[in-house]
Each structure stands twice: as structure tokens, then as C-alpha cells.
Structure 1
């Protein structure tokens, strides 16, 4: 369990993190989402024990990070956005060096290095110096160093930043594989990352926690949530009028069509479901519906809405 209570960080007169509180348990991938400069990385660094808070507390599995940072850090693996890597060392040599710093030696050190090289798909580059690695392999090496001691908690800051789509998928697959057995905090400004990986998301803007929900629940706050696209065989003008009379329809938009087939978009009032009313309307007029799909909402709409409003909005996960 990670418990963050009333966390504040100030740099001079600037407040980078302003009274952030949340809890997260095992089996959760928690996305820490926000614009650049929102306070995401600062929050992660305070949880990791690398940056002291101005106020507030962080506890990891019951250990106060400020009071006993060494014990707390044994519980955590931290992958910064720009992990310091020793370019002149081989991948295996670098990981072996870090394993020794973690207190492992001899056969146990070698066992852990071999295991993590396999887990992170680094075995074929184990003898290459780090300066010869592609960005994808460098990010995997960064992840490997965070996993050497098999921590209960993983703190990942922009883990797929700068990777191509194939490299991103490799890292995401690794995170998904580990998710059931760990607490994973993933700091990102990439909405696609949140939808692909996270069971819960925090949105931080201007240092303040503005939302805390499952991504699917956040999308329900989108203006397009439950908008209904209907493809049917019907006269255009008559269909526009008939669907516009359905209760809870705010407006009907013509998308495409010809003399026979129409594609209409029904926008709901207060995000109400329109499917039943649309089916009943089509049946009453004996119009053949060829396709109907409801919009699940868009996280980018919600992100813009939340990060451009002044009020703090918190939702339970």
C-alpha cells in the first residue's frame, strides 16, 4: 500500500505540488497524468524518497519514506524519465554493479542479473556497452535496474517516452505482465498510455489533484459520451425530424448519406443513453437500421476540460 497524505512541494515561491492525497494497493496500475510541468515527476520523486516534501507524508507498506528512506526504498523500484546509465559499461556489468549496491553478491547477484536480462529481453545485448544500445534497449535497461531486487512497488516516469510503436508495445507488455503482483505508478502525459495500461488514473494540473477515477469512468465525463451514430435506410429530412423528437436528444447531426442511406449522429442531453429511443423510432417508421454504435467518450476531451478549469474535481476510483 502507498499512502500519500497532503503532499506539498515548494521551490521558493512556486508551489509545484499542492496538497495531493491518495492511496493505492497491490494489483493497481495507477496513471499519474497531467500536462508538462503539472507536478507529476515531482510527486513521483517525493514518493521515491529522492526529493523531500515541504509538507505532508508518504508511507510505503507502512514505512514512512521521510523517516526511514532506506527501508522504504527497498520496497520500491524507480525508473526515472532519464535514468543515469554508465555508457562505458556493458548491460550485464551495469546491472551486476547495481545488484552489488543493492546488497547482492556472488551467485545470488549473477542469478538476479541473468533473470532480469531474460525478463526484460536484454540477453542478446548483455555484452554490449550501453553507449551502443538503441533507445528501446536503453529504456529496457532502465526498467531492468528498477526490477533487480523484485520490489513490491514500481515507480515509472514516462517509461515509453521517445520509443517507436513496436518498442512501446514491448514495454507495455512487460508492465501488464507484472501488474497483478505489484503496485505500479506510471507518470505520463500520453493519454494512450493511460488507456493501454492503467486501471486507475490521477489527473494533476498546476500541482493539484483534479481527478481520481478509472479511465472508463473519466471518459463518461466527456461531452461525446453516449453520442449515438445511426446508419439506416430512411429519407433524410424525415429521419432528422423523427430522431430529433426523441427525449434526451439535444441535437441530431447529419454525417453522410444519399437518397437512400443516412448516417446520423444523435447527441444526448446530459449524456443519457439514446439506443432504446433510436431503435423504437426506427421501428415505428419501418426504417432498416444497418449499424448503430454508442460513443464510449474521449479521454482527451476530459483531460482538456479538467486541466483548463480552476476547480479541483475529485472522484472515487
Structure 2
């Protein structure tokens, strides 16, 4: 449904994104993650035909974003980071205006308007001026306009910004419900949000794609050891040394609580049985024993920091390289 191949965007000598390639299947919800300034918004703007790429191709629903921008715009619903609302209009007036711009009229527009307002729970404020609404309600109005024409593709840039916790849960559930019938790109810096609603993740850093996979597969690829959380009633003086002596244990890290430890083990080895046996045999008072998974936040930080360090090392190598004399 969305196919991006080697797109690059340059502003003079500055390269905002560099040979970005990824795809989104029909009905898939994809998280597009990256730190501030990584190139997320630039990529979104190219996909929505707000601006062209310097190089490469981007296609939405089979239409090229450069050659057929109007056809692409008919296929997408777009929510930018700042909702594109007119504050002097009421919610109903604004959504009616958006529908008319998209060629909707009569009963079709009325039905779509009521459905979109109901979906985003805007009924109580539909006749109020948008300028008098809270930020959370304005965000919901922005989402309503993106969904109004029931597009096959949705591009959402930070859709839960400004919402309260209850509204965030509701919007996440709405996005999850769109999977299957819509292809969704969710650009966000809120990593638990990506884990909650997305089937696949693309991570961009400094304009380049550094990873693309499911959260589970990314964790598996980057995990270098197994981790186990251990909680005891107390912390006997000899427990650290006895835990460290277990074959396969790499490191024992005391936690903040009195009897808590994070135990790092060799990759592929499940030592919970042996850890439990040692704790019970020594009568330490075993309270908890569980594996610790690598979170999407861990993956994100490891990938972006690795790229940053690699770039710094390259710059250092270049700066230290001998230069040829111009005299010879």
C-alpha cells in the first residue's frame, strides 16, 4: 500500500533524509520512530505530497507521490503534529468544509460527518468554536478530519499529543481497530505507544533507517544476554558471591530494594531453576523470580546510540587522517 524506495531530501548541503526505504502492507499499522530531528516529519511530508523528494520514489496505493500528487491525496488521511483546524469555525462547520474539499456532499457527507464525530466522541462539542476547545479536543478534531473520507491510508504524526490518559487509551484502541481495513503509519516518540498499537517498527536516526522489524524480533536480534530479576526477603552477605558462582551467570547487579538483584546470564541459557534452588537451599526467602525482556525503549536507545558513536568514530578517523601536501 505504501512503498518508499531510496528517498533522499536535501536542503542545500544539508541532507535531511538519506536513502530511506521501507514499505507498509495493506491493513498494517507501522510505527515510525526516531529522536527529534531524525527525519520523521520530512518523510511524512514527502508521503503526503507536501514537498517532493530530491531523489528516490514514494508510492501510495500505487500512485507516485511526485507524478500523481492529487491521486495520492485522495488515498490518505493525514494528521500533522499540529492539527490543521480553523479556530473561528465550529467542529461541524470545519468537518463539513473538509468533506466538501474532498468532494463529499449530501447524505454521504452527513453520514460520514456523524460517524467521524461519534468515533472521536465529539458530539458534546460539535457546535462549539474550535478556538474555545482544549488541546485534547482539537487533537480529536484533527483525527476526525483525517478519518472523514474513510481513506485506505492514514498518516498520523504524534496523534496522542495533548490528550489525557483516558483519551490516549481510547485513541490507541481506535488505531488498533483500523488495522486490517486501513494501512497506518504512526510517527511517534512515545515508545510504549508503538508497542501497544503497531505490528512493525521502523527506526530512523540522523536521516537513515537503522532498523526495521517487529518489536519482538528487534529485541531478539540485539539481546546479548538473558536477564533475570530476583527478589529476596533480605540480602545476606554471601548471596552475591553464591549467585555469581552459578555456571552461566555473567553478572549480579544489586537493585535498589534491599533484596533485589538483576542477574545477567549467558545468551540462550535459562537459569531460573538453578537460581531458585540456590535461594531455597540457602533459606534466603525467595519472593520473586522472573525473566526481564528487552523493551522497545532499550532497542531504540541501543540503536540510536550505536549510530551516534559510529558517526563520531568516523569523524575522528577522518579528522586524524594525514592530508597530502599541496606543494608536491
Asked if Structure 1 and Structure 2 have the same fold, meaning a TM-score greater than 0.5 normalized by the shorter chain, the answer is yes
Structure 1 residues 277, 19: CA separation in 2 closer, same or farther (over 3 Å shift)?
farther
CA distance in 1, matches of 2:82, 2:142: 9
Q: Is the 8 A contact 2:226 2:267 kept in 1?
A: no
Per the alignment, residue 164 of structure 1 pairs with 164
2:65 aligned residue: 65
Q: Tell whether 2:262 aligns with 1:265.
A: yes
Counterpart of 1:139 in structure 2 is: 139
Q: Structure 1 residue aligned with 2:299, among 298, 302, 307?
A: 302
Moved more, 34-43 or 292-301: 292-301
Partner Cα distance (1:225, 1:112) in 2: 52
Q: Is contact 1:26–1:182 with CA below 8 Å preserved after alignment?
A: yes
Give me the whole-angstrom Cα distance separating, in 2, the residues matched to 1:74 and 1:257.
56
- 2:88 aligned with 1:91: no
The residue number in structure 1 matching 2:11 is 11
Change in 2 beyond 3 A, CA 1:224/1:233: farther
* Structure 2 contact 224–267 (Cα < 8 Å) conserved: no
Aligned to 1:315: none
Distance in 2 separating the partners of 1:58 and 1:76? 14
- Listed one character per residue, the Cα deviations across residues 104-141 of structure 1 (whole Å, up to 9, x for unaligned) are 11121111111111111111211111111111110011
Secondary structure at 1:92 match in 2: helix
Deviates more, 1:22-31 or 1:272-281: 272-281
Match of 1:185, SS state, is strand
Moved more, 59-68 or 217-226: 217-226
- Tell me, what secondary structure is at the counterpart of 2:287? strand
Counterparts in 2 of 1:256 and 1:10: CA distance versus 1, 3 Å? closer
1:150 Cα deviation (Å)?
A: 0.5
1:20 positional shift: 0.8
CA distance in 2, matches of 1:29, 1:234: 46
Task: Give the 3 Å change call, closer, same or farther, for CA 163–234 of structure 1 in structure 2.
Answer: closer
Q: TM-score, normalised by structure 1?
A: 0.88
C-alpha distance in 2 between matches for 1:26 and 1:73: 17
Distance 1:233 1:214 in 2: 38
Alignment of 1:1-317 (within 5 A): 1-220=1-220, 226-232=226-232, 236-255=236-255, 262-270=259-267, 272-282=269-279, 289-310=286-307
TM value normalised by structure 2: 0.86
> Could you tell me how far 1:243 is from its partner in structure 2?
2.1
Deviation at 1:226, TM superposition (A): 3.4
1:200-230 residue CA offsets vs partner (Å, 9 max, x unmatched): 1111110000111222333446679732122
Q: Secondary structure at the match of 1:251?
A: strand
The farther-off stretch of 234-243 and 49-58 is 234-243
> 1:232 and 1:139 mapped to 2: Cα distance?
47
Residues 98, 145 of structure 2: 8 Å contact kept: yes
RMSD: 2.5
| Aligned 8 A contact 1:154 1:184 in 2 | yes
Secondary structure of 1:31's match?
strand
In structure 2, do the counterparts of structure 1 residues 235 and 204 end up closer, same or farther at CA, with 3 Å as the change threshold? Answer: closer
Which consecutive unaligned segments of at least 5 residues does structure 1 have?
313-317
C-alpha distance in 2 between matches for 1:24 and 1:249: 41
Whether the aligned pair in 1 keeps the contact of 2:86 and 2:94 (CA below 8 Å) is: yes
How far does residue 8 in structure 1 lie from its aligned partner after superposition? 0.6
123-132 or 208-217: bigger deviation = 208-217
Deviates more, 1:271-280 or 1:281-290: 281-290
Residue 170 (structure 1) shift: 2.6
